[in-house]
Amino acid sequence: MAATDEAELQQAGLRITDDGRICCAWQANMPDYHDSEWGRPVVSDRLLFEKVCLESFHSGMSWHLIYNKRENFRRAFDGFDFDRVAAYSEQDVARLMVDKSIVRNRAKILSAINNARCAQALVTEAGSLAAWFWQFEPTADNRPLRVDLQFWQTQSTSPEAIAMSKALKKRGWTWVGPVTCYALMQALGLVNDHLEGCCCRAECEADRAALQRP
C-alpha cells in the first residue's frame, strides 16, 4: 500500500494488520479483544456482570492494564459468579486487598460486592441482567454516524448511557457513571463503535442482526 494510503488510514483512526486487514488503530495493543470481543453482543449474565465489574475497575485507569489482569480478576472474584460475590464477607475483602495480581482499590472492591447484590435484585426484577441492560440499546435513528468520528474514544457517553447510569444508581449500583456505562455498552455490543472501514464493523453488525434480544 502506498504511503499516502497508509497516512489516510491513520488519519481515519485505522491501521493495516500484519495479515493485511484494516482495523481500528487501537487493535495493535489488544488484537484479541478488538477482533473477538469488543462490539460483539453479550447476553450471558455472568459475562455481563464481569464486564460491569471490569469497566468499574477501569474507571480512571488504563483499559489495557485491566484487560491484562482479567484472568487474575476472574480467579479472585470466583469467575464473577455474582451469587458467590454477593456472599463475600469482610474476610474476602481482606483477601482481595492483599492480592497483588488485581487492582487493590478498596472502594472498587466493595463496589463489586455491592453490585453483585444489586445484580441479584435486578434478576428478580427483570428476569435476567441481559434483559434489563439490553433495553438501553439505542434505536437506529438515535445512533451517531461513526463515519464522522475519527477515534473510538471520541464519543464518551450518550443519552442512553446517561439513562442507564441513572437507573443503575437508583437501584443502588456504584461506580456506574455515564462514561463507564457507555464503555459498557460498547463492550456488550449494545452499540457497534468499530470505525467505518474496520473489518470487524460488518462482522459485529451481522452478529447484532442475528441476535435474539433477551
Q: Binding site annotation covers 34?
A: yes
Name the catalytic one among 37, 63, 67, 203: 63
What domains are defined for the chain? 15-208 (1.10.340.30)
The pTM for the full model equals 0.90
Query: Exposure of 62 by Cβ count < 10 A (0-12 exposed, 13-18 middle, 19+ buried)?
Result: exposed
pLDDT value for 141: 54
Per the DSSP assignment, residues forming a β-bridge with 22 are: 16
Q: Binding site annotation covers 199?
A: no
- Tell which wins on pLDDT, 120 or 7: 120
The whole-angstrom separation of Cα 201 and Cα 12 is 14
**Active site annotation includes 55:** yes
Percent of the chain predicted with pLDDT > 70? 91
Q: Which residues contact 146 (CB under 8 A, 6 or more apart)?
A: 193, 194, 195, 196
Local confidence band at 146 (pLDDT 50, 70, 90 cut-offs): very low
Percent of the chain predicted with pLDDT > 90? 82
pLDDT in tens, 39-77: 999 999 999 999 999 999 999 999 999 999 999 999 999
Name the catalytic one among 26, 38, 50, 55: 55
Q: Binding site annotation covers 23?
A: no
The pLDDT of residue 196 is above 90? no
pLDDT value for 145: 45
The pLDDT of residue 147 is above 70? no
Mean pLDDT of 80-101: 98
